[in-house]
Each structure stands twice: as structure tokens, then as C-alpha cells.
Amino acid sequence: MKRVFSGVRPTGRLHLGNYLGAVKNYVALQDDYECIYCVVDIHALTTLEETDALKENIYEMMLDLLASGLDPKKCILFVQSQVPEINELFTLFGMITPLSWLLRVPTFKEKVRMHPDNVNYGLVGYPVLQAADISLYKADLVPVGVDQLPHLELTREIVRRFNEKFGDTFPEAQARLTNFPTVVGLDGKDKMSKSLNNHIELALSEEETAKKVMSAVTDPARQYKTDPGHPDICNVYKLHNYFSPQAVAQIADDCRNARIGCVQCKRALAEAINVYLRPIRAKRSKLAENPDEIYRIMADGAERAGAIARETIDEVRRKMNLR
């Protein structure tokens, strides 16, 4: 069975963009592949200047991942830093990765713009750590969207260079192409993001969700309820596609013919989101009653991942004549 690896940064509670863009797919993959999913807390440090909330963010994210359907009996779910071998492979990969490869990565330039006062060594080496994550577990497949293919190709280049220097050791992980939807935030402009405060967290109450949805920007060309709407440019309508699939054609027709206004459309979306998320929220509440079980799942996942990692590092040390 082919092995899948993917990691998620612990930024706190998951929102709808995270769920639709990645987590829903993670849940589907675990039925057909050997899946390893990692909360990448070391990655988070590259742009994190304070770590006070890191432990809580990891816990909250674990709750959301488990509530969303990740099953520790079907996949390995763990925290990156709890398998220390990642740091060794990161260091060793760094010894063979040309700096020029890293400086050309588009996301590095983007992060420099976003964090001009914190351009650290870890930020430059982020792709090397990513390559080490994938390679430490000898993953065959990495779920990515088409826009992320250049990042995976850099991992493949690092692996190829290692294999050429020290012998065939790591598979060149292939993309498991996935249609990751770009979920636009409530502002109607930017990708849904915590930093932009335009998101809806999975764990919100139904009342909080409704309040968030009612603040969403809709069709900018529609001023009055009697005006015909343009659902194709309305972000609320786009969200209806995910949460009201059976009603979305009728919603579009009613909007175009001014049979419903934006307020009514948003109320319907809020209800649809709440209905969809009720099972997830109920499971999350149940899981939160027993924090010790969440930490047990983390520890068990780290032990299972660690067994794979130790074998890999032993092989790497032998091939690099480090033992």
C-alpha cells in the first residue's frame, strides 16, 4: 500500500478553508492509503516570534482533526517535534542543498514580504525541513494542488541529490493531485485566513457562525433586494456550493430573478453550515471531555512515526558513513 504524508501548521482551531481545502481530503485518503499526518510545530517557528500559545494551538488543532474524521486506527497522527529524528535529517539535507535552490522558492519571497523583521535561517530552510518531513517517512505520495507542484519538485530535487551522492535511499515522492478549493474569506476578496480575520472556525457555536455569515460581503453590484443578483461573483453563493449542493441551482435562479435578497441568502447559508458541522461539533465536544485521551493519541502517533523515523535515520547514517 502506498504511503501518504502531509503536514498542517498549528495555528489554532481549524476554519472552513482548512477543512474544505485539506482536511476533508485527508479523511478520504485514510481509507485507501497508509497515511501519516503531522502537526508541524517546528515549521510554525519559522514565522512565530512568541510560542506562548503553541501548546494550546496544537491541542485545539488535534481536537479539530479528530472531530473532522481522522481516525488514529486508520492513520498515524502526531506532532512533528515529538519525533526528534526530523531535526537530524533536516540538518543532513541542509548539507547537500544549494542556497540558490532555496532563494528561488516563491513562498520564501512572499514570507519575506510578510515578515520583513524576522527573515531567519529557518525561514530560508523551510523547504529543506519540508523535504525531510516527507522523506523521513519515505512517503510515496503527497496530496497537493497544482499550484504547489513546484514545492514538491524541490523536495524531489533534494532527494535525487541525496540518492546520487549516497545511494538509493528515498523515494521521489509523487504528487497526489487534489482539487484543493480556494475558499475566499468573508471579506469577499482574500483567501480565508485567521490573520485576516475573515474566517469561520469549525468549533464556533451556531450563533457565532450565523453572526459571522451575516457579516459576509455578497454581490457588490447588487444594492437593493429588487435588483437582480449575480451569484457567479458572490462569495456567499460559492459557499452554498459546498454546504447547500442540492439547493444551489435554485438559490442561483432565485438570486438572478430577485426572488431572494442577500440577507435571506446569508441566513440560508448559516443554517446550511450549522447543519453540516453539527456532527463535527458534537464529536469535538465529546473529545474535549477527555484531554488525556488526546495526549495519548499524540503519544501513540509519535511512537508509531518514530519507529519508521529511526529506521530511516539508521540507514542514512550508514550511507553517509556517520556510523
For 187-233, write each residue's pLDDT tens digit: 888 888 888 888 999 999 999 999 999 999 887 878 767 778 888 88
- Positions annotated as catalytic residues are 111, 191, 194
Which residues, 6+ apart, have CB-to-CB distance to 4 below 8 Å? 29, 33, 34, 35, 36, 139, 140, 141, 142, 143, 176
**What contacts 24+ positions apart, CB below 8 Å, involve 103-106?**
105/150, 105/151, 105/154, 106/150
Query: What is the C-alpha separation between 96 and 160, in angstroms, rounded?
Result: 11
Cα angle 288-291-292, degrees, rounded to a multiple of 5: 150
**Is residue 261 part of an annotated ligand binding site?**
no
21-71 residue pLDDT tens? 899 999 999 999 999 999 999 999 887 778 999 999 999 999 999 999 999
CATH topology of domain 3-183+290-319: Rossmann fold (3.40.50)
Residue 164 grid cell: 546520487
Q: Is 320 annotated as a binding residue?
A: no
For 115-138, write each residue's pLDDT tens digit. Answer: 777 777 888 899 999 999 999 999
User: Domain 206-285: what homologous superfamily?
Assistant: Tyrosyl-Transfer RNA Synthetase (1.10.240.10)
- pLDDT category of residue 287 using cuts at 50, 70 and 90: very high
Q: Are the C-beta atoms of 312 and 89 separated by less than 8 Å?
A: yes
DSSP conformational letter for 220? T
C-alpha to C-alpha distance for 53 and 63, rounded to whole angstroms = 15
Q: Does the annotation list 218 as a binding residue?
A: no
pLDDT band (50, 70, 90) for residue 267: very high
Rounded Cα gap, residues 65 and 37, in angstroms: 10
Q: Is 10 annotated as a binding residue?
A: yes
Residue 180 has pLDDT above 70, yes or no: no
Cα 248 to Cα 94, 245, 253, 290, distances in angstroms? 50, 5, 9, 39
How much is the mean pLDDT over the chain? 91
| 94 annotated among ligand-binding-site residues | no
Which 3 state secondary structure label does DSSP give 77?
A: strand
Q: List every span in the chain annotated with CATH 1.10.240.10.
A: 206-285
CATH 3.40.50.620 domain residues, the chain:
3-183+290-319
Strand pairing partners for 184? Answer: 191
User: What are the phi and psi torsion angles at 219 (to 5°)?
Assistant: -65, 110
